[in-house]
A and B are shown apart, each in its own frame.
Chain A
């Protein structure tokens, strides 16, 4: 094997990594069939490995691969002995291709179309996430299954069903019109946000974070911002929110993999590059007239990111931002977070009263973090028995292993404190 051959092989490998999703998106549009497109993509790369060392690199490898993929698809259809369909298919692809070439030299639009198809409201939320990770991000079924703590066959089935629905109900391969874009974009952003959250705070399992998912979510949002016909303040806000949260990754866990609370984190470990970018994006999003929930959450994260310590955080600003958030997107979880900020600003007993009221309303009864928050404030007030009760309730509800260890550690500390207190008392 020649050196040149090796280097072309490496080039093909590189193109696969950077371009394959783009090429897939275009093939899906041209062929109108996810599975056929996936198969043709693999065949096109196989053809490249065969012919590029012999014939030399094409001037535009991506266009070459799209074209090869199309011909491989025609071959595949012919093999399936659907000759009429082949002719129809062929005629159709030729038509759209020439149209496409004339109208848009850039194929990036196809990726945007693909995102909107994967996040179509007619698909279930689980299917939206699985399909986006598979088709847009290129994760394997196994990787998606691991990230969602489910089995590969379950994920595969979800994807198969979603593709069948796309085909049978005829979900079109298009970016929604301007009038429909806001509603549809909201779903896309929500899917991305769920992907990020699953990576940032895995809902169960032995790891607190899954870096691959947070990275994919950030990459996807960058792509979305780059591709959208008009800038969207909430897309900007969401990117800022993810970057600012992600910036704390290295400080959120101890060397032993245990949870470190925000106030105890070593802030020198925070990623300054992500913070700088996030803060610029928040300012940009806040400067628009359309300030939404992602932007406000990002603004809160930015206040934390710029504070030298928990004590020196502008808690008043944070409470104010939570008030705004509560106004545009009311939820008991926002109220809970606000109560914690109020506790930092006005003292534990004030915050505790808010959390007590909130828990009395019942909506957060099964939300472990509400009980953990209440326990933490009791602990600081020295109300050991109350703290223990709340921590125990939180422990019953908590499914994340690192968070469970944190609560168990707190309970042990409380038992120690109680023991010392009773010794002193006797």
Chain B
């Protein structure tokens, strides 16, 4: 089963880190990615640029509108993600709890809805 671990952090907190701390966090994150890949968990993992670089799109009545910034004003912003293949939610929680940024921010664990699988089920149902 696939789970997307969405990593959130207050960007101000990230900015407040010293250069050494910031580099260490990056190193730890890369090391953990490696560990997950070796363990057969990792599908994809990326850190994201600051939320200020984000563009939000909406298509309404075939008309595209693009606006600056994130959709919702929340304190914590999405700063990266790890897509994993895990046995079940407990397994996924075990993996996600060791994501280094979890020590500063938070990680939302969401099961992936398999669209193909879903379609097959619907035809049968």
B61-102 CB contact bits vs A (8 Å, 1 = yes)?
Answer: 000000000000000000000000001111101000000000
Q: A171 and B89: CB pair below 8 A? A: yes
Q: Is A176 an interface residue (CB 8 A)?
A: yes
Q: In chain A, residues 166-205, which have Cβ atoms closer than 8 Å to a Cβ of chain B? A: 168-172, 174, 176, 180
- The interface residues of chain A lying within 8 Å CB-to-CB of B110 are 169
Q: How far is the CB of A70 from chain B (nearest CB, A)?
A: 22
Q: A169 and B111: CB pair below 8 A? A: yes
Q: How far is the CB of A275 from chain B (nearest CB, A)?
A: 40
Which residue of B88, B111, B124, B125 is within 8 Å of A172 (Cβ)? B88
Q: Is B31 an interface residue (CB 8 A)?
A: no
Q: A170 and B124: CB pair below 8 A? A: no
Q: Is A122 an interface residue (CB 8 A)?
A: yes
A51-75 CB contact bits vs B (8 Å, 1 = yes)?
Answer: 0000000000000000000000000
Count of residues in A whose CB is under 8 Å from the partner chain = 13
- The interface residues of chain B lying within 8 Å CB-to-CB of A169 are 89, 109-111
Q: Is A289 an interface residue (CB 8 A)?
A: no
- The interface residues of chain A lying within 8 Å CB-to-CB of B93 are 122
**B90 closest partner in A (C-beta):** A172
What separation, in Å, do the CA atoms of A170 and B89 have in the docked complex? 5
What separation, in Å, do the CA atoms of A122 and B111 have in the docked complex? 12
A90-130 CB contact bits vs B (8 Å, 1 = yes)?
Answer: 00000000000000000000000000000010100000000
Q: Is B54 an interface residue (CB 8 A)?
A: no
Q: How far is the CB of A85 from chain B (nearest CB, A)?
A: 8
What separation, in Å, do the CA atoms of A120 and B111 have in the docked complex? 16
Q: B124 and A122: CB pair below 8 A? A: no
What separation, in Å, do the CA atoms of A168 and B93 have in the docked complex? 15
- The interface residues of chain B lying within 8 Å CB-to-CB of A120 are 89
Q: Is A82 an interface residue (CB 8 A)?
A: yes
- The interface residues of chain A lying within 8 Å CB-to-CB of B87 are 172
Among B87, B89, B109, the one with the most A-chain Cβ atoms within 10 Å of its Cβ is B89
**A171 closest partner in B (C-beta):** B89
Q: Is B48 an interface residue (CB 8 A)?
A: no
What are 22 pairs between A and B in contact, CB < 8 Å?
A81-B124, A82-B124, A82-B125, A120-B89, A122-B89, A122-B93, A168-B111, A169-B109, A169-B111, A170-B1, A170-B88, A170-B89, A170-B111, A171-B88, A171-B90, A172-B87, A172-B88, A172-B89, A172-B90, A172-B91, A176-B90, A180-B90
